[in-house]
Structure 1
Amino acid sequence: MLRSLTLSLAILLCCSSVFAREIRYPNVDSLGESALGYAVLKLALSKVDGDFHVALDRRNASAKRILMMLEQGQIDVVDGGFSIRTMTRFQPIYLPLDMGLTGWRLMVIHKDLASQLAKVNTLAELRTFTMGQGVSWYDADILRHAGFTVSTAPSVLSLLRMARMKRFDLLPLEAPAVYRFLDRLGEHDQQLTVDKHLVLIYPFGRFFSVRRDDTQLKQALEQGMEAALDDGSLLALLKTHPLSRDAFERADLEHRVQIRIDTPNLTEGFKAIPDKWWYRPNVH
């Protein structure tokens, strides 16, 4: 009897290890386990049946290298802002892990412009201001499509310097990150500030992507993300995570004038995302 019980236990342990799966996540921007995507990935996979274990690949890698690592099977999942190239190269999970807050843009401005911007209430009025963006940012195309004049630079630090020198008027940055960028990169800057009056909104977000043949992980993430949204744990995570909580604690989104523009060239999968996934201050 004891021998039979021992054999059964050994078989059970063997089978469990066979079905356990390690999900390897990249070291995005050297953030390691502090990355928002890492936290949401762990949350989503904790909501599904199956033995998934999230592990960090600790190698530092560029964004381009990370996509190659996914393609070659060295990692299992990536996350990032909406990108046509990424969405067609891999299999996207069309559920925004940031609830679309990346598309809520606050303006870093020279303090001299604060009183002028405080009078803006329409898109036509906002178009009279020039914008700054990163050279390779998809957001620059979105702003140009909406009729804005856009100047570009290779880094946020360069953009802050240009804003200080009034090379352009407004630097739209995502609500979860704008204060962090200004605190870190412009810590002693007495000339720049975050506008308190308006928010520019366009359909955008951060998404997980997996290899095109990884149906198991895609289905697990879809199921887990839906569960985390429905039970409120995704929103709770966003409100407390160091890389997203500023959108709730400092941005005062519910009291700002909202100006909305379109995002061009959206995929059909993006267009089909249910409304419940898009953050609205007066609803969530």
Structure 2
Amino acid sequence: MRRFLLLLMLCASGAMAAAKPQPLEIRVTAGADPYVTQLLELALSYQSRPAILKPVAGIPTQSRAVRLLGKPSGIDVFWSVTSRTREQHALAVRIPLVKGLLGYRVLFIAASRAADFVDIKHWGQLQPVLFGLRHDWPDREVFELNGLQVVAFHDTEKAMSMLSSKRLDVVPLDILAAGDFSSRSDIMVQPQLLIHYPSAVYLFVDKANTELHALLQKGLEQAIADGCFEWLFRRHFARQLEQLDLAGRTRLNLPNPTLSAETPLSRSELWYQPGKYNDNNNTQTNQTEHGSHVAPHPHCLPVKP
């Protein structure tokens, strides 16, 4: 009898092991920003099946990443600033991952030309200015469609040298990337001006992969509802945004003709608004020495400071 019970237990444990679902493997570009990686992991954590992210190296450009979505030697998820064209080639999860922050651009200029930008008050005054934008940024089209002069570059470091040698007038970088070049003495961030246009960074999947699309959409919506999305966003960006003081700058607003009609502009909780407290309805805030932060929901994944 004992031997029979032991055999029964072994069979039951084997059956349970066999029934345990294999982790869902999701291929992403190697070297991804930690915030996006953690947000992806958060979105996937709401499902019962475990999921792991597998980094894939050797994908140097955004256009190549889009082409490799769903391919056997490619990736499953890609994230980028959206446009109507990009949404025609891939399936977008229409939740702006960084709450529109990449639509806020500070102006890098040659330090020797600081006086040339002091009296600018509206974006129409920028039409004679020669802007440098990377060739594969969807933002390049935003500037071009607004009648601004654009030179496409492939390397941001070289673009900064072009600023210094006066082959470019302005390199408008998003506020999250601006700190990477702030230590140079020959260039500077213009201290009063801020270009803004509606812009969203979305997750994209292959058009045929509707199952993964639904999984990510549902997970992000759940993270918004329970406050974990806002908590993670502030954990990464709150201090930097406070230091930038975007509300104190002269904002030059550009329309963005590249956005699709499905962009969720009416959902205020999805967008960062300088000078306004913009919280989800289920989060709580506390004051700390670093300013306000969101008290995490018990479900929120632990992340490194």
- TM-score w.r.t. structure 1 length? 0.83
4+ runs deviating over 4 angstroms: 1-6, 244-247
Structure 1 position 62 matched with structure 2 position 60: yes
- The structure showing larger relative contact order (alpha-carbon pairs under 8 Å, at least 6 residues apart) is 1
Aligned CA-pair RMSD: 2.6
Do the aligned partners of 2:130 and 2:150 also contact (CA within 8 Å) in 1? yes
Contact map agreement 1:92 1:209 (CA 8 A) in 2: yes
Q: Which range moved further: 118-127 or 259-268?
A: 118-127
The alpha-carbon distance between structure 1 residues 44 and 135, as it changes in their structure 2 partners (threshold 3 A), is same
1:180-212 deviation digits (Å, cap 9, x = unpaired): 1x14xxx4x322111221211112121111122
Q: Structure 2: any 5+ residue segments left out of the alignment?
A: 279-305
CA displacement 1:89-138 (0-9 Å, x = unmatched): 22110111111111111111122333443432222334353322223433
Aligned partners of 2:94 and 2:264 also within 8 Å: no
Does the C-alpha gap of structure 1 residues 76 and 192 become closer, same or farther in structure 2, counting only changes over 3 Å? same
Q: 1:121 to 1:4 in 2, by over 3 A?
A: farther
Choose from 268, 272, 282 the match for 2:261.
268
1:218 aligned residue (205, 213, 227): 213
Distance 1:199 1:230 in 2: 31
Structure 1 residues 132-141 or 158-167, which shifts more?
A: 132-141
Q: Is 2:42 the partner of 1:43?
A: yes
In 2 relative to 1, CA 224–164 (structure 1 residues): closer, same or farther, beyond 3 Å?
same
Paired with 1:93 and 1:237, the residues of 2 have a C-alpha distance of 18
The TM-score, its normalising length taken from structure 2, stands at 0.78
Q: Counting helix residues as a fraction of each chain, which structure ranks higher?
A: 1
The answer to whether the Cα contact below 8 Å between 1:25 and 1:54 also exists between their aligned partners in 2 is: no
Which residue is equivalent to 2:24?
Answer: 21
Distance (Å, rounded) in 1 between the aligned partners of 2:222 and 2:43: 8
- Equivalents in 1 of 2:189, 2:131: separation in Å? 14
Instruction: Name structure 1 gaps, 5 residues minimum.
Output: none
Matched residue pairs, number? 271
Q: 2:253 matched to 1:254?
A: no
d(CA) in 2 for partners of 1:118, 1:278? 29
| Amino acid across the alignment from 1:40 | L
- Spell out, residue by residue over 1:39-86, the C-alpha distance to the aligned partner (whole angstroms, 9 max, x if none): 22112212x122232222343223344334323144321111214443
Write the distance in 2 (CA, Å) between the matches of 1:266 and 1:86. Answer: 10
Deviation string, structure 1 residues 239-269 (Cα, Å, up to 9, x no partner): 444xx66752542222222221111232232
1:283 aligns to 2:277 (yes or no): yes
Larger CA Rg, structure 1 vs 2: 2
Structure 1 contact 176–245 (Cα < 8 Å) conserved: no
Q: Distance in 1 between matches of 2:207 and 2:230?
A: 28
Distance, in Å, in 2 between the alignment partners of 1:259 and 1:190 is 26
- Of 183, 188, 197, 1:202 maps to 197
Q: Are 2:120 and 1:120 equivalent residues in the alignment?
A: yes
2:77/2:205 contact within 8 Å kept: yes
Distance 1:217 1:273 in 2: 25
User: Within 2, Cα distance between the matches of 1:135 and 1:43?
Assistant: 32
